[in-house]
Amino acid sequence: MKTKSFLRIKEYEMLSKLHVDGKILDIGGSKKSGYQELIQGNHVFIVSNIDASYDVDVLFDAQQKWPFEVSDFSAVFFINVLEHVYDYKTAVTEAHRVLKSGGRMVGVVPFMYNVHGSPSDYFRYTRFALEKICIDAGFSSVTVHELGSGAFSVIHHNLFGFMVWPWFAHSTMYICEKLDRLLLYLRPNNKMSAKYMPLGYYFEATK
């Protein structure tokens, strides 16, 4: 998928490794998003959103009780959505309820990222917050991966990520990622690495 966003490139890399069989509920998504095509496995997407203008299957508010039965889905996706959900506890608890045993909640959230709409931007979650939120909701295990490469990827997003020329955005992205890797090589636990300065996080929580 073509994008000039450092964060989206990294999240698409993670999603392309994901294999799911069965029904997937995509919260806050759109059939035009495109990332659904990256997921491996024999599955079908049920796309939901609060906004009727999106191309969706089901219209509902993720902060209310969801219109699905217990253990109905193999996976629930929150792709760049949870920062826009004020009552995230209800949303995550409902995700746990509608998942089958062994099902996964999969999500991407920004961290060192600009304030943005859709419709409002409420939160930035750390690794520790994501782990605790998922465990408190009843999930048995949680894995979290930093997205981005460190301070230079953050600089790229804020200075070059919105450039109109894709060739310039991608060439500077390459340089910034190499600089972050060089810094990590020279100082493995430096405070400018992705561990301390991620663009965002990819997480999976298993029921």
Summarised one tens digit per residue, pLDDT across range 62-78 is 999 999 999 999 999 99
Domain-located, residue 169: no
Kindly indicate the confidence band of residue 161, based on its pLDDT and cuts at 50, 70 and 90. Answer: low
Q: Is residue 23 part of a domain?
A: yes
Residue 64 has what pLDDT? 96
In total, how many domains does the chain have? 1
pLDDT digits (tens, 9 = 90+) for 107-132: 999 999 989 887 899 999 999 999 99
For position 167, what pLDDT does the model report? 80
Give the side-chain half-sphere CA count within 13 A for 12: 15
Average pLDDT value for residue range 77-103: 97
Task: Examine the pLDDT at 4 and tell me if it is beyond 90.
Answer: no
Q: Dump pLDDT digits (tens) for 22-46.
A: 999 999 999 888 899 999 999 999 9
In a domain, 156, yes or no: no
Range of the domain at 27: 6-149+197-206
Short-list 66, 55, 59, 115, CA closest to 95: 66
pLDDT band (50, 70, 90) for residue 158? confident
pLDDT of residue 170: 85
Given a cut of 80, whether residue 164 has pLDDT beyond it is: no
Question: CATH no. for residue 113?
Answer: 3.40.50.150
Using alpha carbons, list the distances in angstroms from residue 10 to 1, 13, 14, 68: 11, 5, 7, 31
- Token pair, residue 39, equals 């997921």
Helix (H) and strand (E) counts in the chain: 5, 7
Q: Is residue 118 part of a domain?
A: yes
Structural domain includes residue 182? no
Per-residue pLDDT for 55 more than 90? no
Q: Which residues pair with 104 in a beta bridge?
A: 75, 206
The answer to whether residue 15 is domain-embedded is yes
Asked whether residue 190 is domain-assigned, the answer is no
Q: Is residue 171 part of a domain?
A: no
Give the lowest-confidence range in 99-113, 115-129, 151-165, 174-188: 151-165
Residues 6+ apart with CB under 8 A from 69: 98
pLDDT of residue 82: 97
Strands 43-49 and 73-79: unpaired
